[in-house]
Structures are given as C-alpha cells and as structure tokens.
Amino acid sequence: MSSPQQDFLPLSFAVLTVSDTRDLASDTSGALLEQGMEGAGHRLMERIVVQDEGEDIRKQVVAWATANEPAVILITGGTGITARDVTPEAIEPLFEKTIPGFGELFRWLSYEDIGAATIQSRASAGVIQGTLVFLLPGSTGACGLALEKILLPQLDSRTRPCSFAGLMDRL
C-alpha cells in the first residue's frame, strides 16, 4: 500500500545481465527491468551484459557499489543450478547484510506460475556498501514477477508500512 502524502523518491539503478548468449540488443530481461524501473520514476545509470564468469560479475558489482551509485543493482541471469550459473557464488560473499525474505517471497510467488520448478531458483538479495543488490533469474517472466510484485513496491518510498526506499539513508 502506498501513501499519497509522502513524495516519491526516485532512486538511481543499474542493470547487469549475466549471459553467455545475450547482448544489449537481445537482452529482453534487462530491457524489461530498465523499462519497468524508469516507468516507475527511477533513474537508470547503466545497463550492461557480462559473461557467466564470476570474476567479471563481481568486478562490475564492486565497481558500482564502491562508487556509491547506483542505489540499486538489479542482476538478471546466472541464478540457476547449472555449472555455468555462478552469480550467487560471485555476489553473495560480498553481502554485508542478506535479505533472505526476497528470495523466499520470490519463490513463493513464482510457485503460482511455474509450480515446483521454482525450487531451482537461487534468487537472493543483500546490501553491499549501502547498495541494494538483487539477484534475479534470467527469464523475462521471472524478472517481470519480481519487478511488479516485490521490487517496485519496495523501491517506492511511499509504500507503507515500510519500504527499502525509506531505509536508503540508513543502509
């Protein structure tokens, strides 16, 4: 639920797509995240694609987080269970605080769409140097679900009783 009495606080964000097969032109999940966030009033800083290589993933996220911008990093891809899916291994050790409820809620909501296959998702979230970081599956359906049901409400400072956006100055 959002409160109209409080002003909307736009947040800066970046999108990192992890894929061995996509580039910016064919990255539908990253494009969906960009459009959804911008449509809600947030400001894109950068959107890039990197290979499924742990060091490449980690290097980009650390560069963004240490620059103290963006406020939010959305990572799509590399969260499955195949040998090439290394996003959680690359990023979760960097979390100063984990947000376990994100992955739990995502899988609960996803179950309604894809049933027991949701157990293969390793979606997660945490805080790195005051930056909110969300690890999402690479499918557009999963990104759309996370965006609409979790991210947009929680990144809206008007959401009550509380939101991530309302905590940004204290992360």
101 lies in a domain?
yes
* 78 burial via Cβ count (<10 Å: 0-12, 13-18, 19+): buried
Query: Could you give the CA distance from residue 3 to residue 7 in angstroms, rounded to a whole number?
Result: 9
* Averaged pLDDT for residues 16-40: 97
Tens of pLDDT, residues 122-138: 999 999 999 999 999 99
1 lies in a domain?
no
7 lies in a domain?
no
Asked if the model's pLDDT at residue 29 lies above 90, the reply is yes
Query: Could you give the CA distance from residue 151 to residue 86 in angstroms, rounded to a whole number?
Result: 22
90 lies in a domain?
yes
2 lies in a domain?
no
Work out the pLDDT band at 7, boundaries 50, 70, 90. confident
Quote the number of domains for the chain: 1
118 lies in a domain?
yes
Tens of pLDDT, residues 141-162: 999 999 999 999 999 999 999 9
* Averaged pLDDT for residues 10-20: 97
* Averaged pLDDT for residues 82-99: 97
Tens of pLDDT, residues 33-71: 999 999 999 999 999 999 999 999 999 999 999 998 899
159 lies in a domain?
yes
Work out the pLDDT band at 5, boundaries 50, 70, 90. low
* Averaged pLDDT for residues 110-123: 95
Work out the pLDDT band at 4, boundaries 50, 70, 90. low
* Averaged pLDDT for residues 74-102: 97
161 lies in a domain?
yes
For position 119, which CATH number holds?
Answer: 3.40.980.10
* 101 burial via Cβ count (<10 Å: 0-12, 13-18, 19+): exposed
Give me the pLDDT at residue 74, please.
98
Q: Which domain holds residue 73?
A: 12-170
